[in-house]
DNA sequence: CCCCGAACTGTTAGCGCAAACACTCGGATA
DNA sequence: TATCCGAGTGTTTGCGCTAACAGTTCGGGG
């Protein structure tokens, strides 16, 4: 059955080696090869060596589909995320992937455009049928909660960034604590109160930051201005900033993320209000460019990479059947730069 | 084994339905179910409807592992990327994932910390081990070229952002063309020449932008200043900006990305040089916050999402055995905002 | 010297699906 | 009327692997 001219009819290359080929070459049964690969300690050292030689010589790689069909395991993890172009989710994903890689897991991602019960179920199902061993769900929206309460009970899952206690472990940054730090910092500089530009309504991080900010003002007996609402974008920060710039009472602004703070900075400039001489501004996230804005932005740093690592650790505990820590918080850190200063002395 | 009320979202059933269950419910054989799913036109409409009803009622989803075992396909794609927290790679990944999802492909990612022959081979092998149907390699480094020339010939692959012609299809943005546009724009505003802050040495995008910039200056017979070198970060932009601010000759700066441009803007401010009255600045990328910097940054927009989509399309052609377009360029677009203006009239 | 169990290796079966082939049946064809 | 045809469906088989169980070997205790 010689192959003649090209024709590309059938690959002239011999088929990829399968377990049986390795077994034949090593003079053992396929089962022994399987054992060498999965439970090497149960095979006599010299047999093991012979098998491993054969594996190497044939360039054998086990067929993932076959293994996964019979074991129900895949060595892959699923990540359901909302929008991986945002700085936070992208960094979290990166942290998860990094941790997974060092433990020989692969990461499969599914982005969803909306977070609700149906979209989460659908994404999880897609992953489940790819036989992932577990899923991490990055769910920064309040509206995701419903979906998170109805995850399939037999699939190890971990949630990143959810608020309340769930039937699954949660890894999150303590948003409220970050907001508390930002607000206290501004008050400590002498400002009478702090205006807040919050994130969009449905976001957990946004409302947690509002709560942290409000709690400090309440505790200190300060006036609590109505928070303005943005959508995380620099554009919305700019618009809110224009509004705030008009009010001479405003001397301290806490923006719920750095991009909005960027817009606020610009709006203040354009309105002729100097930062930090006239108005102090604090952001949230500590995006890489924050130190190089003008002026360098004081902000609250969230260690997303750490969150990703934590999420992976929790998931691994789940997969291995160890009882997992139910809820773990990572503390954010206030980073003071030059966008915050003492309250201007009233003339 | 009665089902309780249940919110249809996930089956409480101990075992998920398999094809045989669907077949039994529809009163047909498993093979017919398989045909309904794969080649519906070969099944009589009423039979097809009965089967689809059964599929819906049982919440049946085919088992990927089993299908993949028999077809040799997995419905998963691999993406090898360098650093998915950078804006460009993250957006590209997002574009790939989006395109893949609409075609019912899943995306598995592997990040590498360095791009060389070994790391690429290693990443590709990990993916291959998972039986991905093909891989997209996002390889923005010159040093990746070696690895890209030695990809396994039997695995469909596509490269994003490589420069030269490779044995595999390439999807890329025409970086040089973008640089040409930015440089021409500045010259057309009356500047005598344009200073360039480039990206790090090993990056293809960086050197392509240098070439585009240099070619325009050469063609127009302008003085060609030594380009400064940054590392994409706002920090490096800031440092370069301080240096440039000292030289009164400098009236036009083309920074190789927006983050560096952000740093340049700040350095110029601090040195008391106004933008755009004294110095014009152009960036590259059009990051979301670019319109909200102060002043709004003129820049070159790269449509990363489109690149991702293109890469997926090329890969799909490869997988399906159609002859793929070897090299496809996407044109970047100059976006003029307020950081560029006429050359200051020399006193 | 035999029996027994631990350590190792082999055999059988089947995971869920689709390719290949076999069958059925009604209508068109000669 | 006998035959063919082909659309529609069923049956068999095996993809490559591992779980479960069945042998085999070997050394030590009775």
Reported as a single tens digit per residue, the pLDDT across A119-156 is 998 898 888 877 788 999 998 888 888 888 888 887 89
Dihedral in degrees, nearest 10, Cα atoms B290, B296, B299, B305: 30
Higher pLDDT, B283 or B84: B283
Covered bases, chain D (protein CB within 7 Å): 7-12, 14-20
Under the banding of pLDDT at 50, 70 and 90, the label for residue A12 is very low
Is A64–B269 a contact, with Cβ atoms under 8 angstroms apart? no
Q: Which residues contact A262 (CB under 8 A, 6 or more apart)?
A: A234, A237, A283, A293, A297, B289, B292, B293
Cα separation, B33 vs B224, whole angstroms: 69
Q: What is the pLDDT of residue B165?
A: 73
Q: How far is the CA of A56 from the C1' of C4 (A)?
A: 39
Cα separation, B327 vs B166, whole angstroms: 9
The mean per-residue pLDDT over the stretch A231-245 comes to 94
Give pLDDT tens digits for B150-179. Answer: 888 888 999 998 876 788 899 999 999 999
Q: Residue B229: is its pLDDT beyond 60?
A: yes
SS3 A253: strand
Q: What backbone phi and psi angles, to 5 degrees, belong to B44?
A: -60, 140
The mean per-residue pLDDT over the stretch A24-51 comes to 93
Is B262–A61 a contact, with Cβ atoms under 8 angstroms apart? no
The mean per-residue pLDDT over the stretch A238-245 comes to 96
Residue nearest to nucleotide D18 (CA to C1'): A70
Mean pLDDT of chain A: 89
Under the banding of pLDDT at 50, 70 and 90, the label for residue B323 is low
Q: What backbone phi and psi angles, to 5 degrees, belong to B45?
A: -50, -40
Token code pair at residue A80: 């359901």
Mean pLDDT of chain B: 89
Q: Residue B218: is its pLDDT beyond 90?
A: yes
Higher pLDDT, B274 or A293: B274
Q: Residue A277: is its pLDDT beyond 80?
A: yes
Cα separation, A129 vs A152, whole angstroms: 13
Q: Residue B347: is its pLDDT beyond 90?
A: no
Q: What is the pLDDT of residue A6?
A: 31
User: Tell me, what DSSP letter sits at residue A143?
Assistant: G
Cα separation, B235 vs A296, whole angstroms: 11
The mean per-residue pLDDT over the stretch A66-92 comes to 87
Q: pTM to 2 decimals?
A: 0.84
In three-state form (DSSP H/G/I as H, E/B as E, the rest C), the secondary structure along chain B is CCCCCCCCCCCCCCCCCCHHHHHHHHCCCHHHHHHHHHCHHHCCHHHHHHHHHHHHHHCCCCCHHHHHHHHCCCCEEEEEECCCCCHHHHHHHHHHHHHHHHCCCEEEEEECCCCCHHHHHHHHHHHHHCCCCEEEEECCEHHHHHHHCCCCCCCCEEEECCCCCCCCCEEEECHHHHHHHHHHHHHHCCCCCCEEEECCCCEHHHHHHHHHHHHHHHHCCCCCCCCEECCCCHHHHHHHHHHHHHCCCCCEEEECCHHHHHHHHHHHHHCCCCCCCCCEEECCECCCCHHHCCCCCEEEECCHHHHHHHHHHHHHHHHCCCCCCCEEEECCEEECCCCCCCCCCCC
Q: Is the CB of A70 under 7 A from strand D?
A: yes
Q: What is the pLDDT of residue A97?
A: 94
Q: How far is A45 from chain B (nearest CA, A)?
A: 25
SS3 A248: coil
Is A293–B93 a contact, with Cβ atoms under 8 angstroms apart? no
Interface residue A274 vs chain B (CB under 8 A): no
Cα separation, B19 vs B37, whole angstroms: 10
Q: What is the pLDDT of residue B40?
A: 92
Is B10–A117 a contact, with Cβ atoms under 8 angstroms apart? no
Give pLDDT tens digits for B93-142. Answer: 999 999 998 888 899 999 998 888 889 988 998 888 788 889 999 988 88
Nearest nucleotide (CA of A68 to C1'): D17
Give pLDDT tens digits for B64-85. Answer: 889 888 988 888 899 999 877 7
Under the banding of pLDDT at 50, 70 and 90, the label for residue A98 is very high
Residue nearest to nucleotide C15 (CA to C1'): A70
Q: Is the CB of A69 under 7 A from strand D?
A: yes
Q: What is the pLDDT of residue B4?
A: 33
């Amino acid at each position: 059955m010689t192959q003649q001219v090209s024709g590309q009819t059938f690959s002239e290359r011999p088929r990829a080696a399968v377990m049986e080929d390795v077994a034949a070459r090593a003079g053992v049964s396929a089962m022994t090869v399987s054992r060498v690969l999965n439970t090497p300690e149960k095979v006599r050292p010299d047999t093991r060596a012979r098998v491993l030689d054969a594996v190497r010589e044939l360039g054998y790689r086990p067929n993932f589909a076959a293994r996964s069909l019979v074991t129900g395991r895949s060595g892959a993890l699923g990540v359901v995320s909302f929008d991986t172009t945002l700085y936070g989710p992208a960094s979290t994903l990166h942290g998860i992937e990094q941790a997974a890689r060092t433990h020989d897991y692969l990461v499969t991602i599914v982005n969803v455009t909306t977070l609700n019960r149906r979209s989460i179920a659908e994404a999880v199902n897609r992953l489940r049928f790819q036989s992932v061993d577990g899923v991490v769900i990055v769910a920064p929206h309040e509206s995701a909660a419903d979906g998170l309460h109805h995850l399939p009970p037999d699939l190890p899952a971990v949630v990143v960034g959810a608020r309340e206690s769930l039937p699954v472990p949660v890894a999150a940054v303590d948003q409220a604590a970050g907001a508390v730090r930002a607000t206290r910092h501004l008050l400590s500089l002498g400002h009478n109160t702090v205006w807040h530009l919050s994130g969009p309504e449905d976001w957990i991080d946004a409302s947690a930051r509002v709560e942290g900010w409000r709690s400090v003002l309440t505790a200190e007996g300060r006036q609590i201005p109505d928070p303005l609402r943005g959508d995380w974008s620099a554009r919305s920060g700019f618009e809110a900033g224009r509004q705030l710039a008009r009010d001479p009472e405003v001397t301290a602004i806490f923006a719920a993320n750095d991009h909005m703070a960027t817009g606020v900075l610009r709006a203040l400039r354009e309105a002729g209000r100097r930062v930090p001489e006239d108005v102090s501004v604090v952001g949230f996230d500590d995006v890489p460019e924050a130190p190089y804005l003008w002026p360098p932005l004081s902000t609250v740093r969230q260690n997303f990479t750490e969150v990703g690592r934590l999420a992976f650790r929790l998931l691994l505990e789940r997969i291995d059947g160890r009882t997992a820590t139910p809820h773990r918080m990572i503390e954010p850190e206030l980073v003071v730069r030059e966008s915050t200063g003492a309250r201007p002395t009233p003339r």
